A and B are shown apart, each in its own frame.
Chain A
């Protein structure tokens, strides 16, 4: 190999490395600029009133305050915990009902005809449109919040599960039949393991939908939780509180998704969606 060839190769390598760094550099620069503009805007006295837009420093200070002392009933962690609790109940109910129902719909075609009228009637009513009637039925309690989470998460659970199960290669089901397997065995050992990764992805979507809906429900009703926190922030004219709350909501939502992705990789290691074998 000639010396020029070696030089060219290392050039290409370093060029590629710096090319990969460029988007990160731009992104970081963009965010840094925004924060800088923000800080500057609030640093100039009189330009922007504090109640409308607090400075970044104010927000951080407020964050610390909310962790240490209760505000409107609980500290930041307290509110977050309550939100997470309600969310958990709602999504667990959605999974508990949605996954078996999704499997049943995929396995028993006539059942789809039974369920479709009700489903079509209800699916276009957004979860929040259920809040007033949920309050009437359950009062201003955790059940109401959990119910809204359930309504938001349920469709994704059932539809994605049904899709996942029906997409399992039918040749596997036929092979199981020729070996004498009944419905229960086929579902348990053949269909569900193959469908599981796709079901899990659907559940992740449902969990995200549930979290978004919870926040809205807590804005409208309730005495605790992150949604309640930011609405109290608005009532008390504290934009800093609102921003802290919004950030926490966003961070928790993203965290939930990341945790679920990790969980998926750990719990379901075999090759996903590969009902068709390799050549």
Chain B
């Protein structure tokens, strides 16, 4: 059962249990990349092969890569449904960031207050507990009824989607601060307000950023749906119309851009977390 003494570059991971068969061993870096690359290549190959003119999949179901590329180029060059691609993306981004920041402006102070002053918590927490089970999207019909099909309805729904994580995480961030730190600050003569701003907010920063991250994720998800229902511009709007006019290539491009933006948001927030709190883990929520 002896293995070679030196580790080859294309080998299982350094700490891998070599008494196990190869399909149970942790792959090394080179192996991992090779497998992932092969998997990706296989998928691309399947896409090409199955969507050929005489292939198994009809272009109405899944267009060939060439069609998708052409759709992408077309979106870049010419306006679609009245706005350029840039304007559509801008519209989506504007709403999502607007709603998210608004929710932060309200939710962050509110959450901190709820964590700091028990009475505020006793008053406000039950309200949030009641609101929480209602999906943000369920507010869309009400929002349309109240505000009509326009930007404000969508900002409202995004606001609702984002505010719960902002509030809950901010409250929990303040909650979980070691009382010892607060008492230490008090013995050093700090006032209530000073303790709040300098000790509490600073120590709670990682959790606050985590709340912001979840809120942004919720906001983005909700915006896409809102644009499918009540929009005149934006990526969701593109997707909806493209599906109606059977321009599936454009639909897929819109979905891809939505995904890319979502990824950029996630990466951006992870970087922010690392900047603000380098010691915390930047994990993703399922």
Please report A residues at the B interface, Cβ cutoff 8 Å: 22-23, 25-31, 34, 51-52, 107-110, 113-118, 121-122, 124-133, 135-137, 155-156, 159-160, 183, 202, 205, 211-212, 215-216, 219-220, 227, 230-231, 233-234, 237, 239, 242-243, 245-247, 249-251, 253-254
Q: Determine how close the nearest CB of chain B comes to the CB of A161; give it in whole angstroms.
A: 10
A230 neighbours in B (Cβ, 8 Å): 138, 141-142
Interface residues on B, range: 35 or more
CA distance A65 to B38 in the complex (A): 60
CA distance A109 to B16 in the complex (A): 10
Given A28-B126, A117-B39, A124-B260, 9 new contacts (CB under 8 A): A30-B124, A109-B27, A114-B35, A128-B228, A129-B258, A211-B135, A227-B138, A253-B135, A254-B133
A160 neighbours in B (Cβ, 8 Å): 286
Contact among A109, A202, A243 for B24, CB-based, below 8 A:
A109
CA distance A219 to B23 in the complex (A): 45
CA distance A272 to B204 in the complex (A): 30
A251 neighbours in B (Cβ, 8 Å): 133
1/0 per residue, CB under 8 A from A, across B20-39: the answer is 00111111000111011001
B136 neighbours in A (Cβ, 8 Å): 212
CA distance A231 to B23 in the complex (A): 51
Residue B211 lies at the interface, judged by CB distance under 8 Å to chain A: no
Residue B83 lies at the interface, judged by CB distance under 8 Å to chain A: no
CA distance A255 to B141 in the complex (A): 23
Q: Is the interface of A mostly helix, strand, loop or mixed?
A: helix
Q: Determine how close the nearest CB of chain A comes to the CB of B125; give it in whole angstroms.
A: 7
Please report B residues at the A interface, Cβ cutoff 8 Å: 22-27, 31-33, 35-36, 39-40, 43, 60-61, 118-119, 121-127, 130-131, 133-142, 144-146, 220-221, 224-225, 228-229, 236, 239-240, 242-243, 246, 248, 251-252, 254-256, 258-260, 262-263, 266, 286
Task: Among A34, A108, A114, A211, find the residue whose CB has the most chain B CB atoms closer than 10 A.
Answer: A114
Contact among A114, A121, A234 for B142, CB-based, below 8 A:
A234
B286 and A155 contacting across the interface, CB-CB below 8 Å: yes
Q: Determine how close the nearest CB of chain B comes to the CB of A154; give it in whole angstroms.
A: 10
A250 and B134 contacting across the interface, CB-CB below 8 Å: yes
CA distance A108 to B228 in the complex (A): 40
A128 neighbours in B (Cβ, 8 Å): 137, 221, 224-225, 228, 236
Known: A124-B266, A253-B133. A110 touches B35 (CB 8 A): yes
CA distance A135 to B248 in the complex (A): 12
A132 and B240 contacting across the interface, CB-CB below 8 Å: yes
